[in-house]
Amino acid sequence: MSESVSSESILVELNGGVLHLTLNRPDRLNILDVETRRSLMSALKTLENSSEVRCVLMSSKGEVFSAGADLRYILELSELQAREYTAFVKSVLDYVEAYPKPTIGLVDGLAVGGALELLLALDMVLATPNARFGLTELNVGLIPGGGGSQRLPRIVGVRKAKEMIFTGSLINADEALSLGLVNRVVPRESLMAEAMKICEKITAKSPAGLRLAKQSLNQSLYSSMGDGLRFENALYTSMVASPDAKERIKAFLERRKETAQKGG
């Protein structure tokens, strides 16, 4: 499985229900060039409908998580090519955000520009104390173009997002944690173990339930409260009527009954 979908830029492993994608160009600071983005999307699409995949991890090799977009490539784009490129980047990140499996980023080192935009499209992020984050596009004459100006304020608040984008400054792991940009900060040596603990809890849940819960949560980012509640209600109704949910409810009630009897 891993050999068939891995590429030069992305390593792919599937083990115990966990799909692990690793950025694999440390010599180029794991930049998110077109090839890397295509390889990432290809690996995800190949395994999107696999019942073996229950949770996705994204990490990197080397001292830098990713330095973001390939600026040398961007420098040579014509206006038409720029439109095509930005549409492609948007399609990749929108796809990652809507991926039907829970996704977790593992950050050890620098994550700036397009790299942070990739992390913003994931469901959760774990970081080491060595992690640094920033939307640094204005430092090189650009603006965020992969959803950064839209997703970041929804997580950290609009004022902090403006500060980060306008100044191009970096924030450390502790500040990222306090802002809700990352879920946990753990020692480097514990990063993978902590991620696997979360994946273990996730893989115990209903795949259909996880998929619908993610859809409902993502919908909350782009709709009014009323529309979001109606969307949630429709998903909940379909879930209540499903055989999978009924079986899981029965199993839960049976376990609770057995626990009560043992306690008595």
- List residues with catalytic annotation: 117, 137
Report the candidate in 11, 36, 33, 25 with the shortest Cα–Cα distance to residue 63. Answer: 25
d(Cα 252, Cα 246) in Å, to the nearest integer? 10
CA–CA–CA angle 206, 207, 209 (5° rounding): 60
d(Cα 76, Cα 63) in Å, to the nearest integer? 28
CA distances from 218 to 151, 154, 161, 199 (A): 11, 11, 19, 20
Sort strands 132-134 and 171-172 into parallel, antiparallel or unpaired. antiparallel
User: Do residues 46 and 228 touch, judged by C-beta distance below 8 A?
Assistant: no
User: Do residues 39 and 58 touch, judged by C-beta distance below 8 A?
Assistant: no
User: Do residues 38 and 3 touch, judged by C-beta distance below 8 A?
Assistant: no
Q: What is the 3-state secondary structure (H, E, C) of 90-128?
A: HHHHHHHHCCCCCEEEEECCEEECHHHHHHHCCCEEEEC
